[in-house]
């Protein structure tokens, strides 16, 4: 799995000179009382300007331009704004959520597009495990209702709690002013599970990279990628990553732990509140390999769909391949997109780029991919990072086309984004076009994805949990 980005399909990267900024007040003010604002754990001002303690500034990547501190206007942070927009947000959310009716329709479409009818019955996406003292973020409406009743509150409080957590941006129970004051004071030890923004960098294209600090002090990165019609969030699923892909800054930094469900969902709410507009798409292409944290990732997918209101078809899970996990994922027959990062069409080269490929050979990965397509009827995205002089020759394009012949997929080519930890280079536009031609002549659907936020080190493969 890799990267991020999202991008301009087929557009040439006129890479903007970047403007970096250290954020203004990183998190919007809660629409609550003065007291609750004062009690908010969110810092009111950015942590520091300039390089972080890691000493890894954005100029670390070879050839990368130094850029001025941003005067660029940053997205407006305002939960209050979201509150004003509440009606429309809720309306849109409801229309995008998977209702039984449109689930049925979408399932039918998926099955019809496949050569094979689904062979198994779909399983419901997992819910967050309901245990005492876990953060409330990630719980469903029915679970929150059950919880408030256990706390001697009437059932309707569950709906209020759900709305304040997922739509109003409450950071603590103290923020939820519709609850009795005494009750809130008695439940100060109950966490909603929100993180704090430590730092944010803004690119000229308005892509924003966030450093988020979790409750145990660990730091992750998430990226907000706006366009006129969309706001996409690239979320992390782990602190670090054990897959150690050779071209990826995250992989060079080692692995610490999996993220919990609330830590994944929080990333989306944080970006939504900071931009003051609704998140439309989520891609699991940040730090970590999502299929090494499958249960929490799928529970987060359920929550983002049913509680936050993002349509499943606007969610993408990306993987470099983990044995037996694609088959496991297929059982859910979800409507989300699965993106498989190949990066090479032969085992020897793939092992060089992705060390974990030694334990999951290419032929076995492709067999699981075929099974996934047969069961779900969903087209796969195939991700392929183009590295100059390594996997971008015409012969590689032919090899990839032969591997994918007759396969229900779409290839996304990602020109390499430089990181200082690796010595790869991006191919020239002519070399990229020649690779595209090689695939298209063999009837492979292909597009190029130029990553956004390149100079903010927010692009595919550039995340390393440092300020830059
Ligand atoms: S090292 Fe991890 S985060 Fe980086 S590309 Fe590989 S799987 Fe993705």
Residue ranges of domains in the chain, CATH in brackets: 198-467 (3.20.20.70)
Neighbours of 386 (CB within 10 A): 22
Give me the mean pLDDT over the 282-294 stretch.
Answer: 97
Look up residue 304 and give its DSSP letter: I
**Would you say the CB of residue 289 lies under 6 angstroms from ligand 1?**
yes
Q: What is the Cα–Cα distance from 89 to 112, expressed in whole angstroms?
A: 32
Q: How far is the CA of 234 from the centre of ligand 1 (A)?
A: 13
Q: Determine the pLDDT at residue 457.
A: 66
In angstroms, the CA 303 to CA 286 distance is 18
Q: What is the DSSP letter of 11?
A: -
User: Would you say 139 and 348 are in contact if contact means Cβ atoms under 8 Å apart?
Assistant: no
pTM of the model: 0.76
User: φ and ψ at 41, to 5 degrees?
Assistant: -75, -5
Give the model confidence (pLDDT) of 93-105 as tens digits: 434 444 444 443 3
The HSE-up count of residue 212 (CA atoms within 13 Å, CB side) is 32
Nearest CA, atom 6, ligand 1: 245
Nearest partner of 267 among 212, 314, 201, judged by Cα = 212
Residue 465 backbone zone (phi > 0: left; psi -120 to 50: alpha; other: beta): left
Share of the chain above pLDDT 90, in %: 62
Q: Work out whether strand 7-9 and strand 446-451 pair parallel, antiparallel, or are unpaired.
A: antiparallel
- Rounded to whole angstroms, the Cα distance separating 260 from 239 reads 10
The DSSP H or E segment spanning 257 is: strand 255-258
User: If you write DSSP's letter for every residue of 428-447 in order, what string do you get?
Assistant: PHHHHHHHHHHHHTTT--EE
- The predicted structure's pLDDT at residue 413: 97
pLDDT tens readout for residues 308-320: 999 999 999 999 9
* Nearest residue to 259 via CA among 223, 295, 231, 234: 295
Atom of ligand 1 lying closest to residue 238 CA: 3
Q: Give the Å distance between the CA of 124 and the centre of ligand 1.
A: 28
36 has a pLDDT exceeding 80:
no
Closest protein CA for atom 8 of ligand 1: 2
Q: What is the pLDDT, as a whole number, of residue 311? A: 97
- Of 223, 318, 320, 419, the one to substitute when testing ligand 1's pocket (max ligand atoms within 8 A of C-beta) is 320
User: Would residue 234 show up in a list of annotated catalytic residues for this protein?
Assistant: no
Q: How far is the CA of 233 from the centre of ligand 1 (A)?
A: 17
Using the 8-state DSSP alphabet, how is residue 402 labeled? H
Give the three-class secondary structure for 137: coil
Structure confidence at residue 102 (pLDDT): 44
2 lines ligand 1 (CB under 6 A): yes
Choice from 288, 321, 353, 421 to test ligand 1 binding pocket (greatest atom count within 8 A of CB)? 288
* 438 Cβ contact partners less than 8 Å away, ≥ 6 residues apart: 394, 397, 398, 401
438: left (phi over 0), alpha (psi -120 to 50) or beta: alpha
Across the chain, mean pLDDT equals 79
Does the active-site annotation cover 221?
yes
Instruction: Please compute the mean of the pLDDT values over residues 388-394 and round it to a whole number.
Output: 96
Angstrom CA distances, 186 to 152, 177, 190, stand at: 12, 14, 9
Least confident span in 37-41, 53-57, 79-83, 411-415: 53-57
3-state secondary structure of 222: strand
Q: Check whether 34 has a pLDDT greater than 90.
A: no
Q: Which of the following is catalytic: 221, 273, 383, 421? A: 221
Mean of the pLDDT values across residues 111-135?
71
């Amino acid at each position: 799995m890799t990267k991020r980005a999202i991008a301009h399909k087929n557009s040439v990267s006129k890479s903007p000179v970047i403007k970096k900024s250290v954020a203004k007040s990183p998190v919007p003010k809660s629409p609550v009382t003065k007291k609750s604002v004062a009690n908010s754990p969110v810092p009111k001002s950015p942590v520091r300007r300039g390089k972080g303690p890691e000493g890894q500034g954005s100029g670390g990547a070879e050839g990368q331009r130094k850029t001025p501190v941003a005067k660029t206007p940053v997205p407006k942070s305002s939960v209050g704004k979201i509150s004003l927009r509440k009606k429309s947000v809720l309306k849109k959310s409801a229309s995008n959520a998977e209702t039984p009716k449109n689930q049925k329709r979408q399932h039918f479409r998926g099955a019809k597009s496949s050569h094979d009818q689904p062979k198994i019955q779909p399983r419901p996406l997992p819910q967050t495990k309901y245990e005492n003292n876990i953060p409330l973020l990630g719980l469903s409406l029915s679970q929150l209702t059950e919880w408030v009743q256990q706390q001697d509150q009437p059932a309707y409080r569950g709906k209020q709690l759900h709305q304040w957590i997922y739509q109003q941006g409450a950071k603590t129970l103290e923020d939820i002013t519709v609850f009795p004051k005494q009750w809130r004071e008695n439940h100060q030890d109950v966490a909603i599970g929100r993180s704090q923004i430590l730092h944010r960098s803004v690119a000229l294209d308005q892509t924003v990279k966030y450093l988020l600090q979790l409750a145990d002090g660990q730091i992750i990165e998430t990226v907000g990628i706006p366009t006129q019609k969309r706001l996409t969030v690239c979320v992390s699923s782990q602190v670090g990553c054990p897959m150690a892909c050779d071209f990826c800054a995250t992989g060079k930094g080692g692995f610490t732990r999996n993220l919990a469900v609330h830590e994944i969902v929080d990333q989306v709410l944080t970006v939504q509140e900071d931009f003051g507009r609704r998140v439309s798409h989520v891609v699991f292409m940040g730090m970590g390999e999502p299929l090494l944290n499958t249960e929490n990732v799928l529970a987060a997918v359920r929550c983002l769909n049913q509680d936050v209101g993002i349509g499943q078809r606007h969610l993408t899970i990306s993987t470099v391949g983990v044995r037996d996990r694609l088959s496991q994922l297929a059982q859910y027959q979800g409507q989300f997109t699965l993106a498989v990062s190949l990066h090479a069409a032969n085992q020897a080269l793939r092992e060089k780029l992705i060390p974990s490929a030694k334990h999951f050979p290419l032929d076995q990965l492709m067999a699981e991919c075929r099974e996934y397509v047969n069961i779900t009827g969903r087209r796969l995205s195939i991700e392929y990072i183009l590295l100059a002089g390594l996997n971008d020759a015409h012969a590689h394009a032919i090899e990839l086309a032969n591997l994918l012949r007759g396969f229900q997929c779409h290839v996304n080519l990602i020109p390499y984004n430089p990181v200082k930890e690796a010595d790869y280079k991006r191919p020239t536009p002519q070399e990229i076009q020649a690779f595209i031609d090689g695939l298209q002549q063999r009837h492979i659907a292909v597009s190029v994805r130029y990553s956004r936020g390149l100079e903010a080190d927010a692009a595919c493969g550039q995340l390393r949990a440092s300020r830059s």
